[in-house]
Structure 1
Amino acid sequence: MPSSQEEPSANPPQALFGAALALLARRDYSCLELRRKLVGRFPDADFNALFEYLQIRNYQSDRRFAEVFVRARVQRGQGPLRIRRELQQRGIMGELASSALEQVEVDWFEFAQEQLQRKYPAPISAMPLDQRAKECARRQRYLAYRGFPADVISWALNAQ
């Protein structure tokens, strides 16, 4: 039985393709994520050829990965800044990230207000005067952590 450090197949390109396909069968990965997962087992592999082969057959697509990723993060209640940052960490940058964010067709202002309402159902105006500033700051931090821009946060707080 081969150890985890030994090559499982006598044909390294076929083994690389098999390993990549096994990962992609579970979920979509960006090229960068896939490379990070496979480089430990296949340090000398030709990843550019692998990605070209996978993309020609539509097994791997950074565009599809970005679209699925953005939709999943929106369902979690995350804002555009956090989603974009997480896409960049996964190797999706520039126009591809912008395109994926635009395709979800979310009104970020309304969405931030919904997230705020879900977390804090009581309006700030219903609180005692001495607690309002502290509560407003807490809500700002909450939305900022979730990845909403300052203008969206301001609008959502004023609308509540």
Structure 2
Amino acid sequence: MAEPNDSQDSVDKATAFAVRLLSRREYARQELAQRLSRKGYGSETREAVLARLEELGYLDESRFVEHFVRSRIDRGSGPLKIRAELMQRGVDGALIDRGLAEADCDFSRLAASVRQRRFGEERPAALEEKARQARFLAQRGFAADHVRTALDVDPAELGLE
């Protein structure tokens, strides 16, 4: 695809495209840059558009992280999976740490809740079943200590009953 020139008209069209995307959901800066690139806009145009959108407050990486973390917690994802997905979107590690900390989520409790929804209230007694449930929670992105707590602690102690 031919690259549109970096004229003001091109910047305006790219900005309009980016605003349409942002009107549907939040984007990380790198994600939006990739979308603009796929649309054929050059690097100067992309940078001008991203700078303009950040200046206007339409593109805000910390707001994106906040929304993303909250949505993934609501889906029952653990912190390791959330971190990996954000890193894949090009978000800075310090911003991810801050977003996870500000989410104020007890991931052990969330893991126990996810386990209980999937497997029922009774905790696994057999080692094989315990391993199966542990794998399930690990795939959802929970750390080993969250998994251990979810499998070993009585749900009543976590306030789930």
Normalising by the smaller structure, the TM-score range is 0.7 to 0.9
Q: Write out per-residue CA displacement over residues 64-94 of structure 1, whole angstroms, 9 at most, x where no aligned residue.
A: 0000000000000000000000000111121
Partner of 2:86: 87
Q: 1:45 to 1:12 in 2, by over 3 A?
A: farther
CA RMSD of aligned residues (A): 1.9
Q: Which runs of 5+ in 2 are unaligned?
A: 155-161
Partner of 2:117: 118
For 1:139 and 1:61, the matched residues in 2 are separated by: 37
Q: CA deviation at 1:18?
A: 0.9
Letter in 2 for 1:138: R
Query: Percent same amino acid at aligned positions?
Result: 35
1:13 corresponds to which letter in structure 2? V
Deviation at 1:5, TM superposition (A): 6.6
Alignment partner of 2:25 out of 16, 20, 27: 27
Write out per-residue CA displacement over residues 100-153 of structure 1, whole angstroms, 9 at most, x where no aligned residue: 11111011111111111111113223xxxxxx1211111000100000011111
Normalised to the residue count of structure 2, the TM-score between the two structures is 0.86
1:139 aligns with 2:133: yes
Partners in 2 of 1:38 and 1:44 — Cα distance? 8
Q: How far did 1:32 drift?
A: 0.9
Q: Structure 2 CA distance, aligned partners of 1:25 and 1:71?
A: 19
Contact 1:112 1:143 in 2 (8 A): yes
Question: Does the CA-based 8 Å contact 1:70-1:83 persist in structure 2?
Answer: yes
* 1:13 partnered with 2:11: yes
Q: Count residues with an aligned counterpart.
A: 150
Conservation of the 8 A alpha-carbon contact between 2:80 and 2:142: yes
Alpha-carbon spacing, 1:119–1:52, altered in 2? closer, same or farther (3 Å):
same
